[in-house]
Amino acid sequence: MNRVKIAPSILAADHADLKGEILKAQEAGADMIHVDVADGHFAPNISMGPDTVRSIRKVTKLPLDIHLMISDPEKFAEPFLTAGSDIVTVHTEVVNERQVARLSEVVREQGRKFGIALKPATPIPTWFRNQLNDIDLLLVLSVNPGFPGQAFMPEVLPKVKSAVKMADSADFEVEVDGGVDQENVPTIIKAGATVLVAGASIFRKGDVKSALKQMRAVAERSLQELSA
Ligand code: DX5
Ligand code: ZN
């Protein structure tokens, strides 16, 4: 099994020092930077927009993993791509199969990756199997969208396992997002997640570098146990 990727979520970082926070995460070995975009409509918070992505694009070469928690991803995919996003993920609650196929084309035409996301109560869509070749990443939210620092919802783990089974025959990442911390990483990895998004457990623990390194150590140990 490949190494699990860690994607620190800057929603939980100090927004007055995003550069400093991103560089600390990068130095500690982050694999990508997770950027949560909330529009105050799909999710009950307002966070960051394309201008923020454009600015952080200049401070790191790490892939920028953009999670669009917005009602109208068709309108905003393009500005986020232009701003320098590497992965653009949209919620299945606001797009149908046809829109997913079209958005995937738009994103991939620019050499970027396309993901779909599911809220905790949203099942894997019936059309998912038809679209496997259009999707690079499936994001399973393990908290309700909008805010960092919420408790992980273990009831999403069966959904992660089903997604991973489907992924066997396709090539995509399964990302778990929300309430991931140094304690629950082993169960999440056992369920088969390949990307861990972590906000509060990286940026609100006092020391970003040691928090990330500790998460990496737990993740590697869990992977070793799985392959033993
Ligand atoms: C939830 C966001 C998450 C969140 C993660 O709305 O999609 O990415 O910021 O933060 P933690 O890890 O603190 O739950
Ligand atoms: Zn997110």
143 CB within 6 A, ligand 1: yes
Q: What is the structure's pLDDT at 1?
A: 55
**In this predicted model, which residue has the larger pLDDT, 164 or 62?**
62
- In angstroms, the CA 111 to CA 81 distance is 10
145 CB within 6 A, ligand 1: yes
Q: How far is the CA of 219 from the centre of ligand 2 (A)?
A: 19
DSSP code per residue over the chain: -PPPEEEEBGGGS-GGGHHHHHHHHHHTT-S-EEEEEEBSSSSSSB---HHHHHHHHTT--SPEEEEEESS-HHHHHHHHHHTT-SEEEEETTS--HHHHHHHHHHHHHTT-EEEEEE-TTPPPPGGGGGGGGG-SEEEEESS-TT-SSPPP-GGGHHHHHHHHHHHTTS--EEEEESS--TTTHHHHHHHT-SEEEESHHHHSSS-HHHHHHHHHHHHHHHHHHHH-
The best mutation among 21, 32, 33, 36 to test binding of ligand 1, ranked by most ligand atoms within 8 Å of the C-beta, falls on 36
User: Which of 178, 171, 173 has the alpha carbon at shortest distance from 119?
Assistant: 178
Catalytic site residues? 36, 177
Q: What are the beta bridge partners of residue 45?
A: none
Query: How much is the mean pLDDT over the chain?
Result: 96
CA torsion sign for 100, 156, 139, 166 is negative
The structure tokens 């109560």 sit at: 121
Q: Residue 2: CB partners within 8 Å, gap ≥ 6?
A: 194
- In angstroms, the CA 124 to CA 59 distance is 35
- C-beta atoms surrounding 60 within 10 Å: 17
Q: What is the structure's pLDDT at 120?
A: 98
Which atom of ligand 1 has the smallest separation from the CA of 152? 14
Q: How far is the CA of 17 from the centre of ligand 2 (A)?
A: 19
The string of pLDDT tens digits covering residues 130-170 is 999 999 999 999 999 999 999 999 999 999 999 999 877 77
Q: What is the structure's pLDDT at 2?
A: 72
pLDDT range class, residue 228, cuts 50, 70, 90: confident
Q: How far is the CA of 90 from the centre of ligand 1 (A)?
A: 15
Written as six digits, the tokens of 7 are: 């994607």
Written as six digits, the tokens of 174 are: 């399964």
178 CB within 6 A, ligand 1: yes
**Mean pLDDT across the stretch 35-57?**
98
The best mutation among 11, 32, 181 to test binding of ligand 1, ranked by most ligand atoms within 8 Å of the C-beta, falls on 11
